[in-house]
Amino acid sequence: MAVQLGHAPTEGTPTMGRTFARLLPFVKPIMPRLFFGFICALAAGIVALTIPQVLAWLVNNVLHPEGNSSDVWLAVGLVAGLGALEAALVFLRRQFVITPAARLETQMRVRFYEHLQRLPVAFHERWGSGQLLSRSMSDLSLLRRWLAFGSLMLVVSTVTVLTGLVLMFNSSWVLGSIYLVGAIPITIKAFHFRNTYKTASRLSQDQAGDLATAVEESVHGIRVIKAFGRGRHMYDGFNSRASQLRDTEVTKARTLASFLVFIVSIPETALGLGLVAGLWLTSQDQLSIGALVAFFATATVLAGPVENMGMLLGMTLTTKTALDRHFEVMDAENTITSPDDPRRPADPVGELVLSNVHFSFPDAAGTSAPTLRGVNLRVRPGETMALVGMTGTGKSTLLQLIPRLHEATSGRVLIDGIDVRDWDLTELRRCVAVAFEDTILFSASIRENVLLGAPELPEAHLGALLDEAIDTAQAGFARSLPNGLDTVIGEEGLSLSGGQRQRIALARAIAAKPRILVLDDPLSALDVRTEETVTEKLRTTLDGTTTLIVAHRPSTVMLADRVALLKDGAIHDVGTHSELLAGNTHYRFVIASLEDEEDPDTTTLGGGPRS
Ligand SMILES: Nc1ncnc2c1ncn2[C@@H]1O[C@H](COP(=O)(O)OP(=O)(O)OP(=O)(O)O)[C@@H](O)[C@H]1O
């Protein structure tokens, strides 16, 4: 199975305009506040630019032999007042934009999570968890920072630089032209910077996602790593990936630094030339000293916005990459949906029929045979049927087609005569409860884990349902945990033993009160005696519930009403355990191989019930 590591090629990615245009629906509701934030930022920039004009007036009219010295205080007061006004405007800008930007980030994150929940299992099998984690967390944080600061400041810096240029031309068109000529090499360099930075930015965000996957995998598999003494090996692998990310980050920083050197040094060089030209023009009486001072003071004010534009361009490119990564997931199509006009069975009894069902995994090689190749099976209402077959024949795959975790490639899966594709998806999954071999529990209380899929009932009924499910699944041990059924179990239930986790997961399937119960070898970690007690209890609690159970142990097989034998992607035979044992060579072979895996002291075979 190939896991998507997120290294999408940068060729063919959407243009800047197209990517940011997709933000519009989210930005629209907060547009007024962003607009006011923008006005404040712009006003702050303009206020900063007026200070040099006050200085020019001071030089030309006050620091003049015939000037009025008391006007110095007026100029000082003006400069101080303008400085205070600029600070107040910056404060207001932050007030206007920070809250809506944070709200937008949350809104997009929640939508992302909701979309992930809806996407089919096939999608989650392809994508590394770290990629999804980084796209939902750090990529959206980048967007918030850009929206609250980068976007406004990019526009404001551009407007400030353009206004500054006009003022510089107003002081002296010669000096203004010298300054403007510097923009030509900066523009050329900016194009080169954009391409290099965009590639490095994409690589670094993808590598960060892969690194998160590596952390997640090693934390998840810490027992295996420790047991096999592979800590050093995992460390080396992680170190190498972390070094790759560091190298990419260094490349990114170098690219930005070389652009910043350019963007700072060119205007500085232009200013040097401007100084020479300005002094000559002043000596020729073609330029007043005040205009010269205003020109240089304006150029000093512009130094900040010009340098910022380089960093803001880098920030904008990183945000564009983050948005592309976000929308790559949001654009993933949900192929398993409810029909527009769902059907409901008139007489729900829990009959399950598979009719000529074929299935291939989406990422299977085109030349490989489908996993399921014409499965025909009928499980009668209320019947318990065991599904048996050699390892890798597709038993788990078949079970997953019933609640539409995967979709049959062709053929039909029918519940009470209605194709599962015609059922409302929520209702279908309420009707079919599943317990998998690999038990997944959530870091929540036992009560919450067991009642995860329970029908909506009054509290008192839920309590009774919980007790019944716990008793049937032989999960009474949970009551003696420190806080009883309210004990919060560790992440993925790792604080419980394998058998305990399986019993909680089974209790969860029972508490869902399904019409059809699908069990993928859910008792494999139990000893045979406990398994027997569980199965007997299941028979009474789930009386009338149709059950399809993948069995890896002869003990489980014998407790079923009938057995279906899966071979070569199809149902090879159906009958009682004794019938198949007597008449089917392949069944005898499968049972013999299952027996080999089981402790011979605890197994009784031969068609009769165990003692
Ligand atoms: N997500 C997947 N993508 C591609 N192939 C898969 C995927 N999951 C399972 N397979 C393949 O499909 C086949 C059937 O797998 P499945 O898990 O259904 O077998 P099984 O009969 O339940 O096996 P076991 O008894 O060992 O649990 C196997 O060859 C397996 O490698």
> What are φ and ψ of residue 276, in 5° steps?
-60, -50
pLDDT digits (tens, 9 = 90+) for 64-119: 667 677 777 887 888 889 889 999 998 998 889 988 999 999 999 999 999 999 99
> In angstroms, rounded to a whole number, what is the distance separating the alpha carbons of residues 385 and 94?
65
For residue 467, give the 3-state DSSP assignment. Answer: helix
- Indicate the top mutation candidate among 127, 395, 553 to test ligand 1's pocket, ranked by most ligand atoms within 8 A of CB: 395
Q: What is the pLDDT of residue 92?
A: 92
> In angstroms, rounded to a whole number, what is the distance separating the alpha carbons of residues 39 and 406?
52
Residue bearing tokens 């996602």? 209
| Pair 501, 439: CB distance under 8 Å | yes
> Over pLDDT 70: what percentage of the chain?
93
Entry field: residues in the chain: 611
- Indicate the top mutation candidate among 127, 357, 393 to test ligand 1's pocket, ranked by most ligand atoms within 8 A of CB: 393
The pLDDT of residue 493 is above 70: no
Alpha carbon of 397 to ligand 1 centroid (Å): 6
* CATH architecture observed for domain 30-330: Up-down Bundle (1.20)
Alpha carbon of 393 to ligand 1 centroid (Å): 7
| Pair 319, 146: CB distance under 8 Å | yes
> In angstroms, rounded to a whole number, what is the distance separating the alpha carbons of residues 41 and 28?
19
Alpha carbon of 390 to ligand 1 centroid (Å): 11
Beta strands 352-359 and 410-415 are antiparallel
The DSSP secondary-structure symbol of 266 reads H
Q: What is the pLDDT of residue 79?
A: 85
> In angstroms, rounded to a whole number, what is the distance separating the alpha carbons of residues 248 and 170?
45
Q: For helices 138-145 and 71-118, give the axis angle rounded to 10 degrees.
A: 150
Q: What is the pLDDT of residue 366?
A: 67
Report CA-CA distances (Å) from 535 to 466, 524, 554.
18, 12, 13
> In angstroms, rounded to a whole number, what is the distance separating the alpha carbons of residues 457 and 434?
20
Whether the ipTM is more than 0.90: the answer is yes
Residue bearing tokens 């997953």? 400
Alpha carbon of 502 to ligand 1 centroid (Å): 20
- Predicted TM-score (pTM) of the model is 0.77
The structural domains of the chain, with segments of one domain joined by +, span: 30-330, 382-407+423-600
What's the token pair of residue 473?
């699944």
What's the CATH code, domain 382-407+423-600? 3.40.50.300
Report CA-CA distances (Å) from 133 to 144, 216, 332.
17, 10, 16
Q: What's the mean per-residue pLDDT of the chain?
A: 86
